[in-house]
Structure 1
């Protein structure tokens, strides 16, 4: 399915499936997705304000260059998602499975990343100054950089 120029304003989606969909120039103002499946979907030139995602499967989702500042993702499966160069400043990305995600060039400054899988985050290609992480995540990142944690 292809959505172009659609306003998903103040929409609520629970348990819905938008698999392999394309969203182009859509508006997600005060949109909420709860336990939804968006596997393989692609978002291009969309706007996100007061955007919240809780649970669900967003694996293989394309969000290249998305402006997701202050968005909320909690407990979302995002395996091999592609938020390349996405703006996630002050976003909440907690308890998310980001294994294999392509985070190259993403901006995570001030983001809350607690309990998310940081194993695919390359500290040399991602901005994350002031991000909140756990001690366990810090050890994972240090190991990723080749440091020996004891």
Structure 2
């Protein structure tokens, strides 16, 4: 029989313990804005209503963690690793995900965002297949040269976001809006799009639409 370690709680504390490894921890109400964390490992941890704005994560690891109603805007991800991490109803404005450390081999499903604001973030050139980006605000996000094959982009607002040489094969854009995708430069084979928003796929084509 597998023995699981008990779930531990650190409720309404204003700083993390000095431990370097955390397993099955629940952190709630942490105010850690602007702090620096070095070589910390978080596995199966939950963060709820935590302020992590402008925090620095230097060579940290997040494995199967969940963030709920947290603010990570302008957080710096220096060589940190993320595996099966989800963000629900979070703010992640201005995060440069290219600064994190990603495996050379494809490991689908590394990130999931639901009902979150990831505007002004950078995913340039990243291989993030099967990413979940559901019911999110994604204004002015850089997706250029990334691989997001088989991702779920449903109900997300992509106003002013950039797609160029982006792999979008099999991506579900159902009920997504305000995307501008040149299908000659961005493969979308097997994708799903809502008819009323599909005019965004004509971006960059030398055509004129008339009534």
Unpaired stretches in structure 1, ≥5 consecutive residues? none
SS in 2 for 1:8: strand
Cα distance in 2, alignment partners of residues 4 and 84 from structure 1: 25
Q: Tell me the residue number matched to 1:148.
A: 209
Task: Please state if 1:59 is matched with 2:113.
Answer: no
Q: What number of residue pairs does the alignment pair up?
A: 150
Task: Note the C-alpha offset of 1:49.
Answer: 4.4
Q: Which portions of structure 1, spanning 4 or more consecutive aligned residues, are displaced by more than 4 angstroms?
A: none
Matched, 1:114 2:174: yes
Structure 1 CA distance for aligned equivalents of residues 79 and 173 of structure 2:
27
TM-score normalised over the length of structure 2: 0.65
- 1:84-105 residue CA offsets vs partner (Å, 9 max, x unmatched): 1111000111111111101111
- Write the distance in 2 (CA, Å) between the matches of 1:116 and 1:79: 12
1:11 and 2:65 are equivalent in the alignment: yes
Which residue matches 1:43?
Answer: 97
1:133 aligned to which of 183, 190, 193: 193
Q: Which has the higher contact order (CA 8 A, sep 6+)?
A: 1
CA deviation after TM superposition for structure 1 residue 141, in Å: 2.3
Aligned-residue offset at 1:144: 5.8
Give the structure with higher Rg (CA). 2
CA apart distance, 1:143 = 6.6
Aligned-residue Cα RMSD (Å) equals 1.9
Deviation at residue 147 of structure 1 after TM alignment? 4.2
Structure 2, gaps ≥5 residues long: 1-54
